[in-house]
Structure 1
């Protein structure tokens, strides 16, 4: 299929007129991020970055959502099998391992998720439907986010499960909005995300394609080496402002959060009633969980 890619199950890619469209393509699971999907995604992004015919990359999701987070149902099923003595828990770092085991695994996931940030070519995240939890980790590693007005963007898992392991929130919205969203786990609409800086623009859902592709085609008229120059100097500024260090520490903070009483109680709910029911119970006190800024 390409220099970097082999046969893919969860990620698609097409190239036209200088724009590579990389698609999370597992709508049955709302494009939840599994290890296999992220390996395929990294390969597709590297392929697009390597192809001379590509100048800009658009990252999107198939189906009704951009990405509903990490594939926690599969993760909890794996934890349960490992706890029962099945699989290879005795050979590799398991789901019920130590603080260091947990941090190690989160760091490996983040290496894959961080790929858009490390590419030379610009990546635009086209966000619709839900972009929550791990979906925001991925979107915020892209160079720009354009969202549907009615998209829902946030990290509800901070209410009981952990902390975002990438922490690009601070760099996009500043300390107060980062705290407002992460301490509550509330979400914002795509329209409000654009107002606070979490997205560069928003558009009605019916116009999102046009909004994204207008920008992508505009950038595709520019020499790829100039695009790389200007992307990378901004990213170097982010690195000098501590983004790389914060990303490493964020994985350790997420591991710390996994040791909290709230996480133990949530895990007990998952074991008793399943992940979806546990998440509903977690979120019930927050109503629709949406921040509506006053402007």
Structure 2
């Protein structure tokens, strides 16, 4: 799974095409060295040598330290050692026709614990517990585009946008972004001021263009989003998404989350971790995060109700 295959970059046409070569070289470097799916990456070596210390570089140490820090803030609902649970549910099988037994989930959950990632910063070594496995899919594209954005700024590119598969969008200068309805076949309930309150159970008969949630405008910021529209299992007619709660061992039931931050790497992790939260916990964790970083967002819960942070609607056009 190569991270750069669905990354789109727009820059002013006054820059030569060779700029793209430089930017995609950065993306390839991150893919090669830090993507858990890339053979012989530092993360791949940690996974294959689970239970033993693995020699890494300083960037791997810094990367994992930040991941662990945000896992702590989100009360363990974000955990990159979630891979055994993802496999248990059958996301890496051709066919998955049954929900895992509670005893199976309970057993595998014991392997999911970010606190068991041991980072030896002095000697640049990392170890995970026996049979643990790290997955980087929730942050690796975002980490790569942050590095590409830094390069663009060094090249004096002052108007650009990078779209990493729709899950992370970073704007240099000001750009408008259409936020799509995760259930476009259903109507949106709005108040008199046009604020969307809920995705209803009623069928939407109109043009999809007019059933988007809203358009936001960001300037030198990142929009990160998580939903399970395209990645899910269908078992006995029920859809189960790929974002699984480390606490319950079951796929989260919320419909969508959107986060605005100054850093795509942080935003991607946060949108994944907060996807597992109740509306109450969503607001509490955002409040805690706001002491460290600039952050606003919204959560669409399993009932279709939309919960906004105080400042999010300031970005809605």
Normalised to the residue count of structure 2, the TM-score between the two structures is 0.25
More helix by share: 1
TM-score normalised per structure 1: 0.26
Structure ranking higher in strand proportion = 2
